[in-house]
Structure formats: structure tokens, C-alpha cells
Amino acid sequence: MPDPAVPPTPPVPLAALLAREDLALRQIAGPADPGLVIHSAHTSEMADPYPYLLGGELLLTAGVHITDAAGSGTYFDDYVARIVEAGGAALGFGVAPVHDTVPRALVAACEAYELPLVEVPPQTTFSAVARAVWQLMAQARLAELRRVTEAQQSLAAAASRPDPVPSVLRRLAQRLGAWTVLYGPEGTEIASFGRPAPPPARLALAGLAEVVRPTDPGVPASATDTAAGSHLAAYALGAGQGFVLGVAAPGRDAGDHTIASVAAVLLSLLTGEQQSGSGAARSSALVRLLLGTRPAEVAPLLGAGPWRVVHAAPDAQALDTVAAAALGAALGSPLIDLGRDVVRVVADREPEPQPGWTMGVSAPVGAEDWPGADTQAARALARARATRAPLVRHGDRSGLAGLVAPDEAELHARTLLAPIADSPALLDTLRTWLSLHGSWDRTAVALAVHRNTVRQRVTRCATLLDADLDDPDVRMELWFALRD
């Protein structure tokens, strides 16, 4: 069985929940592991809760599903086994009004399957337990953001010192409790700080640095591994410089990747991207574009291509130049545009999902199609937000549209959509609504408007187009007309 995909929320130690005096919870079975964490609290009275669990939950039940004959068979073993199989972190059993005590067979089953069993007293409601979990999560998220923010400020201050590169490495080692090392283009250790990692971990980290050392567009910008009890991470500095930041730490806490990425961005600037000529090439490309040179002629100065435009929105962290630069470094591109609530990146490699970001990616295009790719990325980001996916890529298959000549398809689309052609809001709403299979809520999220506004606009479209939008044939024809 694959590991359960737990929700992207900061985990809460079960011990912290048990320590809440107002809840009076008591663990009565299962391992008392101080490192055990939960990702949510979920109430279910189903005899088989497996289909309703994501993994990492504290499952709460009052035992309504337990029959009088349950204790004489394998009911409790089967019930607990399914919770463990689904990735449930712990089971909370509410005493009263259904059961006066926790069934002994359930206690035995939890002991056998090593599932922590928590007794919830009569005066404590399941809602209070769930609220406490979310309160602890909010506190953990706030602490994580505060830690990352303080580390960013500390690293930025270190970068302004007379000896910036050693200062950043030293400060990063202090912040992460790690050994930090800067590898040169030839793989040699230029500088390092912190308590050195064990020799096997140092050897593995040097090998990891070679993996990310930029030699072609397909090389990842960062990589992680474990060796000799150490968590290892390597970050390529810039595009084509050859410098790599290595980090070896005894543990890996939330926010460590973000902090190390910030340090990698600062070190990229400090090690001087002009050594590879990339900075001069980008400056030349910008000047040529300003003077009227065609994008296709300028593109070779920026990278190999083909190009993908990325629109990215932060999930929680503040959107600023440091966060945008860290994202660019993770995507292996210095071509970054920081907007009000979105970062746009032009990359010549296939972007991968990044922790803490929701991303939309265009199809691979040539330089002459950059504007269209920008539109594709924006729509892909809207769909990612609506579907709560970390990354959505714009589809590049032509499908049935390839059976119609482009000029004929364009003429048909203009004719069909003429009644709403002068209203970008109606066009965008109809396109988004169709792409999300008529979901009012998801369309409202994607467009950042109220669901009633979506309903009003779609109704207006149906009226102006004189079309039955409940008819799948009508929806299909409109969808083809609205495609790029």
C-alpha cells in the first residue's frame, strides 16, 4: 500500500492535544509516541470509515455503528485494521450517550494494531476537539511563518556584511542547526560552517551536488536525500554558474526548504552570475527587445527553449521579492515578474510542483508565442486554485479541433459568440464555468467573485446566446469556440 496522501496542513502532536486541560482527553491504548502527529479531526459513525479518510486524521466516533453482537466476532479487529490501512493517526471514542465505557474489545484491537486510542469524556464535544486541533494548527502555521520570516531577515542582513558569502553560510547553519557547504564549479568545497556531517553523509551530499549542478536544461534545481541519519539537500545557484549549496541536517522541520531556498537565491547573487555571461546576455536581450528586435531573435540569449510560462500564487507565505526569487531559483529561471498577487516566471525547463505554491503552467512554446502562453498559464492557475491542485498544466492536444481549418473555426467562433463578444467578463466567466463542468463554487473561486455573480453572468450568457446551457451539445460547441 502506498503512503496515504495527508492534507497540506501543519501537523499537530497528539501529545499537545492530550495536554489541553479543557478537553480532558485520555489515551487508553496504543503507543505513547511523543512524535505522533495528526493532520485533522474527522467524525464518522460508519462501520467502514476507510473511504472517507485522507490519512493522518484523529477519527472521532461515539460507537453508534457498534452492534450488540460486535464483541463476539472480529468486528473491532476489522474496524481498527481499516482505519490503520487508510492511514488514520489515532481513534477518539466518545463516552456517552451510546456507550458508558470504551469497549474492551476495541481497546485490545487498538493495542494489537498499535493505533492510539483516546477516550473523550462526556462533557467534551467532538466539535470542541476539532476546534482545538485547528487552533493548534493555526498556532503551528503562525510559528512556521514567523520562523521563516525571521530567517529571511537574518540571511538578508548577513548578505549585507563585508564577507557576505561566509556570513550567509554561517547564518544558514545556525538557523537550521546544520552543516552548510558551498561547492565550486569543479566540485571542491569552497567554504563550510557548522558541525561537519558524518563522512558517509558528506560523501552523499557531494554526490547530490553533482546531480543538481547545472549542465543542461533538464537538470533539477534542487534535490534531497538521506544518508547516515542526516537529511541532505543541494541547491544549484543560478543558471550555468556551477556553484551548489549543500545542507546536511540531523532533522528536517517545516520551513527548512524555504529558508534554504532564500539562502540559495542570495548566494546566487553573491557568487556573481556574470561569471557565466548569463546576466550580460539577459541585459542584451532586454535592450534588443526595447529597440524592436523580434522575440524569436532574442530568445537564444535567454536559454535553449522551448519556453513555458508559469503563473504561481503563494499558499500562505507573504508574496515579496525574496519569495519570488526563491521560486525562480527552484524553477531554474531568473526571468521573474512579481505582480500584486501572482509571480510570473518564464522557464526553459519543465516546472515541477513547489511546496507552498499553487501553479499554472502553459504548453511549451516558441518565443513568438510568449503572450499566448501567458494567457494559458493564467487560466491554468485559475483552474488549479478552483480544484485545489498544486499544479495544473495547459493541455497541448488539438483533439477534434484539429479536424477544422483554423480560419473556418475562427469565423464560426466569432459568429457564435458575437452577442457576448464585447463583454470580457461574460466570456471569461463562461469559459471558466465550462472548463469546470458547470461548478458554481469552483468557478467563483477561480474568478475570485461571489457564486451569485457567476450565476447571473452565466444566465446572461444563456439569454444573449439564446442557448440551453444544460444541453451537452451546446456546451461542447461553445467550449470549442472559446478555446484559444
What does each of the 484 residues of the chain score in pLDDT, given as a tens digit? 344 444 456 789 999 999 999 999 999 999 998 889 999 999 999 999 999 898 899 999 999 999 876 767 899 999 999 999 999 999 999 998 899 999 999 999 999 999 999 999 999 999 999 999 999 988 888 888 888 888 888 888 888 776 788 889 999 999 999 999 998 877 888 888 998 889 999 999 999 988 887 655 555 678 889 888 899 999 988 655 678 999 999 888 878 888 998 898 888 877 754 444 455 666 667 677 767 777 777 777 776 668 889 999 988 766 766 677 777 777 777 788 888 789 899 887 888 888 788 999 998 888 778 888 888 898 889 888 877 888 988 874 445 554 455 666 677 778 888 888 889 899 889 988 888 888 888 888 888 889 899 999 999 998 998 888 888 888 888 888 886 5
| Res 474: pLDDT | 84
Task: Please list the residue range(s) of the chain that carry CATH number 3.40.1390.20.
Answer: 12-135
**Residue 280: its pLDDT value, please?**
60
pLDDT score for 115:
96
- The CATH 3.30.70 portion of the chain extends over 300-393
Reported for 201-206, long-range contacts at CB under 8 A and 24+ positions apart, including other chains, are: 201/227, 201/228, 201/229, 201/230, 201/232, 201/248, 202/248, 203/227, 204/228, 204/232, 205/181, 205/230, 205/232, 205/234, 205/246, 205/247, 205/248, 206/246
pLDDT at 190: 83
Beta-strand (E) ranges in 54-198? 57-61, 90-94, 117-120, 179-183, 189-193
CATH number of 300-393: 3.30.70
Residue 160: per-residue pLDDT: 77
Domain boundaries for CATH 1.10.10.2840 within the chain: 400-482
pTM: 0.48
* CATH class of the domain defined by 161-271: alpha beta
Domain 12-135: which topology?
Answer: 3.40.1390
* Residue 341 identity (one-letter amino acid): D
What does CATH list as the number for 400-482? Answer: 1.10.10.2840
Query: What pLDDT was estimated at residue 274?
Result: 41
